A and B are shown apart, each in its own frame.
Chain A
């Protein structure tokens, strides 16, 4: 079976110009991920788990190594791919779920959730209907659907965020502590949805504060260890 992702020798460090220092996050990470596989990233706080996820998503630029993503058109190295290609893949098949929502002012919760469908060409009434179904599934109260998430509590914002991130099936899903600050009902809804997506062949890489939440989904684990902290370099 063709993998979804082949990561080779991935290395990330941050050059902090104002300090004249290079901070090492992780180095030489390699793994392969197949359709429907769930990979758990483990390790102590600050070891670079979220940094690895963000590097895979290209929010962070890797220092060295390759992130071979096997797209239907052929493989592409996300470590060096053109920005427009990365943007295209994010719209089409690579999703990122965080605990934080960047809420835009004056946009209703149901529109926030429906947006990925609208961008994919689904008509507004149909997209909104699906959005409402997912808001209900994650336990967002009906009277909040037309309200602006900018004013919601952290937990409610996160539910909106999850509904939005999971409304379209992706090929690869990066999960950065999606269960943090969720109540039991929403957590159960999330696990149900992830299980469903996994059965459909979606590959997932996740960081979880309580991996027990997703114990039944995990196929493999990678443990990250602390890197020797910093170099003083001319950066």
Chain B
């Protein structure tokens, strides 16, 4: 059963703003394994889309596609931003790097993927700005400071390398790097998995604040339904590379339609 058969929706009637992000018909195989099968998603400006599913459901693969780290076997990806046109999967490496640096921020579960662990934290953030062409040392440092502050990172430690920081602090450095250029789109791949519950709440709160104050559009992937429930406006449920259900967050949690979503929601502590 597909998501559309579950509850056929009319096209948007009141929402006149086009989606910021549109992926359609994305397919990806790794050998015999179907990682993504005909996946489509839309995210509107200022919205938080949550993607849930168990390990191997394809949710992180999809997020990496949105960050242009991987190219699908087929599919289309568009961002409604000034000067950004065409299917982004067709861009070459250089164009991808520029586009991502300018418009997309990402926070990984594993800070090693997003940070140079032995460089200073402020240097990690400044690297982002360097890619985008900023050259003045004073500006780099002041912009890095602003981003770290917005991520609620203690500025007294801005020159410490991430390797000397706690997991929660490392995530804040990643977040500061991700938002340094005020991206239109923020991608979050299990941003709080592995953190203590209290630290997790702090990181989620920082994300909520950013979302409220800057209206950043976000896509958050997590297997933790509590995280998704706290963060997301809409939720997409994935299983074995397919979208099995999508809907408003409260509807997915209170009235899940698909057998798999029901099992998932009932299993929540």
Give the distance in Å from the alpha carbon of A106 to the alpha carbon of B44 in the complex.
27
Q: How far is the CA of A83 from the CA of B245 in the complex (A)?
A: 13
A17 close to chain B: CB less than 8 A: yes
The interface residues of chain A lying within 8 Å CB-to-CB of B246 are 83
Give the interface residue-count category, chain B: 20 to 34
Q: List A residues 209-233 near B (Cβ within 8 Å).
A: none
Query: Which residues from chain A contact B8 at a C-beta distance below 8 Å?
Result: 80
Taking a contact as CB atoms under 8 Å apart, the answer to whether B12 and A85 are in contact is: yes
B92 to chain A: closest CB distance in Å? 33
The residue in chain A whose Cβ has the minimal distance to the Cβ of B233 is A87
Cross-chain pair count, CB within 8 angstroms: 83
Please determine whether B7 and A84 come into contact, CB atoms closer than 8 angstroms: no
Is there an interface contact between B259 and A85, defined as CB atoms closer than 8 Å? no
Instruction: Kindly list chain B residues whose C-beta atoms are within 8 Å of the C-beta of A71.
Output: 14
CB distance from B171 to the nearest CB of A (A): 16
Determine, out of B63-71, B101-109, B250-258, the stretch whose residues face the partner at the interface: B250-258
CB distance from A10 to the nearest CB of B (A): 14
What is the CA–CA distance of A90 and B258 in the complex, to the nearest angstrom?
Answer: 25
Count of chain A residues with Cβ under 8 Å from any Cβ of B? 32
Q: Are A84 and B15 in contact (CB under 8 A)?
A: yes
Shortest distance from the beta carbon of B152 to any chain A beta carbon, whole Å = 11
**Roughly how many angstroms separate A87 CA and B8 CA in the complex, as a whole number?**
17
Return the CB mask of B5-29 against A: 1 if under 8 Å, else 0: 0011111111100000000000000
A14 at the interface (CB under 8 A from B): yes
B61-115 residues with Cβ-Cβ distance < 8 A to A are: none
CA distance A87 to B247 in the complex (A): 10
Q: Which residues of B contact A16 (CB under 8 A)?
A: 262
Whether B14 lies near A89 (C-beta < 8 A) is yes
CB of B131 within 8 A of chain A?
no
Q: Which of A14, A58, A73, A106 contacts B248 (CB 8 A)?
A: A58
Return chain A residues, CB-CB under 8 Å to B251.
58-61
A111 to chain B, nearest CB (A): 10
Which of B13, B204, B208, B255 lies in contact with A82, CB distance below 8 A?
B13
> What is the distance, in angstroms, from A20's C-beta to the closest C-beta of chain B?
10
Question: Other CB < 8 Å A-B pairs besides A17-B259, A87-B47, A105-B204, 16 of them?
Answer: A18-B259, A59-B250, A59-B255, A60-B251, A60-B255, A61-B255, A73-B14, A81-B13, A82-B11, A82-B12, A83-B9, A84-B15, A85-B13, A88-B14, A104-B205, A119-B212
Q: Can you list 16 A-B pairs, Cβ within 8 angstroms, ordered by A?
A: A14-B255, A15-B257, A17-B259, A58-B251, A59-B250, A60-B251, A61-B255, A61-B257, A73-B13, A80-B9, A81-B9, A83-B9, A84-B47, A85-B12, A85-B15, A118-B212
- A-B residue pairs, 4 tightest by C-beta: A17-B259, A105-B201, A60-B255, A82-B12
